[in-house]
Chains A and B, each alone.
Chain A
Amino acid sequence: MSQLIIDTGNHIAGYACKAAKADVIAAYPITPQSSVVEQIADFVEKGKMDAKYIRVESEHSAMAACIGAAAAGARTFTATSAHGLALMHEMLHWASAARLPIVMAVVNRAMGPGWNIWADFSDSLSQRDTGWIQFYCADNQEIFDTIIQAYRLCEDKRVRMPTMVCHEGLILSHTSMPVEIPDQKDIDEFLPPYDPPWILDVDKPVTHGSLIYPEWYMEFRYFMDEAMKNAKKLIPEIDKEYGRKFGREYRGYIERYRCDDADLVLLSMGTIGSEAKIAVDRLRRHGFKVGAARVRVFRPFPKEEIQNLAEGARMLTVIDRHISYGMEGPLFIEVKASLYGKEDGPLMTGLIAGLGGRDVTYLDIEKIAQKSLKHLEAGKVTKEVEWVGLRR
C-alpha cells in the first residue's frame, strides 16, 4: 500500500534512494545536502535498506566509489551540493564517459566565496557539459518521483548516462511537505534491477577508461551525444508511464501553467516556477494574459518544446537563478539559442534573480511580469538583461 508521509526534501530523496533499492551509496556530507545521506545511513544502519554505505574522505572519492561500484554492476546513489559538486567535476566526466547510470541528488547551493549555503543554481549549471542528465524539481513529491524516473531513464540501454536530480537548498531541502510513497511492489515493477552491458569481473577482466587515440576518441563522444538524444525521446515516455502507474506525471519537460492563451510566458526552473503560478493567478484576475512555464530538464535541453511554447506567446520572460559571467543567465541563453532563425519570434528578456538564496516571492515575479507587459505594449525591450532587486 502507498503511504503518505510528511518530511523534508532531503529526507524524501533518501526515501527515493531506498525505494529504488540502490546497492551502493558513497557520500560525503556538505550543507545543505547532509540530511539526504544521514537519512540513507539511518536506513542502512537499521537494516531497512540492504545496501553498502561507503564513507569517504571527499566528494571526489564519493563519485570515484560510485563509479567503481557502478562498473561492478551495482545500482549507485550519492548526493552533494555546491563545492562538493565542484570537487567531483573530474569524476563527473569519468562517470558519463564510462556510461555509468549513477543517480545523484544535487541540493542546489551558491558557490563561494563569499561563503553562502543558500539556494542558487551556480553549482549544477556549472556542470552543464559533463554529460550528466539534469532534472530540476519544484516540490518534495517531484523529488521522489524524479529520482525513481531517473533510474529507469539512465539505466535504459539506449541511454546509460548518469543523472542529477536537483532541488534547491533550504527552500526544499529543509522544508516538510506531504509526499506519497508508492507501494514497493509497484516501484519494483516500474524499476526492474539494473542490467549492465559490461561489468568489472575478476574472472573476465576488462579495463575501462583506458587510452584512446585521436582516430577513435570522437566516436565515443558521438555515442554520448546520441545517448542524450535518446534520453530526450524517453523522458516524456517514462514520465507518462509513471503517471499511468502512480497517478502523477510532470508532462515531460515543461510544466505549463495557464500558457495556452498567454501573451506573456514567464520561464524559470525549480521553485521560482512554483512561485510564478501564484503571480500568474493574481495577474489573470486583473485580466492580463500571463502564463508560467517551468523547465524541468536542462540536459538534454527541450529545444523543440521551447519552440512550441514560443509559437503561442508574444513575449518570453526568462528568470535565471544563476549568471554565466560575461554573458547572461544560462536558461535565457538556451531559450534564445532554441529560437534562433525563427521568424516573428516573441520578444525576450532575461532576469537574474534569487542568487545566493535571495527570496524571489510571487510579488517580485508579479513586478517582473508587469514590467514585461509594458515592454510588450511598447513592442520592444529596453534592456535585454536585468538584475532583479539589485541594491543601487
Chain B
Amino acid sequence: MSEKPKSLKDLPITIISRPMTGSAGETGFWRTFRPVVDRSKCTNCLLCWIFCPEGCIERGEGDVPTVNYTYCKGCGVCANECPVRAITMEREG
C-alpha cells in the first residue's frame, strides 16, 4: 500500500502491494555484510544490476553500478554473480 491505511474501509479485499520504494522500511539496517565494488576490476557488465533481487543496484553514468545502501540487505547475490570478482562482501560495523 502506498499510503498507510487508517481504518478497515481503506483496506483492499486481500493483501495487495503495488510497486513502490521501501514499503517495509529502510531495510539496509538488516545487513551483516556490505557489497563493495572495486572500480578497478569492474567491467560494467551490469550482471549485478540484473541479478540483485531487491533492485538495489543503480545503473549510473557509463553503466557504472552503485549500491543503494539504504535498502540493500546484503544478501551477496551480486558478489556471487560478478564474473571478475569485483564485488567483495565486507562485514559491517
Contact = CB atoms under 8 A, between A and B. Distances in A.
Interface of A: 97-99, 160, 197-198, 205-212, 216, 219-220, 222-223
B41 interface: no
Contacts of B24: 211
Interface residues of B, number: 12
Interface stretch (B5-13, B49-57, B81-89): B5-13
B12 to A, nearest CB: 7
A210 B11 CA distance: 14
B14 A97 contact: yes
A227 to B, nearest CB: 8
A206 B16 CA distance: 6
B15 to A, nearest CB: 5
B89 to A, nearest CB: 25
Contacts of A99: 13-14
B19 A205 contact: yes
A220 B16 CA distance: 11
The 6 A-B pairs of least Cβ separation, nearest first, read: A99-B14, A210-B17, A207-B17, A99-B13, A206-B16, A212-B15
B18 interface: yes
Contacts of A205: 18-19
Interface string B1-45: 000010010011111111100001000000000000000000000
A333 B13 CA distance: 31
Given A205-B18, A205-B19, A211-B24, A160 B13 contact: yes
A201 to B, nearest CB: 11
A371 B43 CA distance: 87
Contact of A216 (B11, B13, B16, B18): B11
B69 to A, nearest CB: 22
20 contacts: A97-B15, A98-B15, A99-B14, A198-B12, A198-B16, A205-B18, A205-B19, A206-B16, A206-B17, A206-B18, A207-B16, A207-B17, A208-B16, A210-B16, A212-B15, A216-B5, A216-B11, A219-B11, A220-B14, A220-B15
Nearest to A210: B17
Contact of B13 (A206, A210, A223): A223
A176 to B, nearest CB: 41
A11 B16 CA distance: 37
Given A207-B16, A207-B17, A220-B15, 19 more contacts: A97-B14, A99-B13, A198-B12, A198-B13, A198-B16, A205-B18, A205-B19, A206-B18, A208-B15, A208-B17, A209-B15, A210-B17, A211-B24, A212-B15, A216-B5, A220-B11, A222-B8, A223-B11, A223-B13
A210 B12 CA distance: 13
Nearest to A100: B14
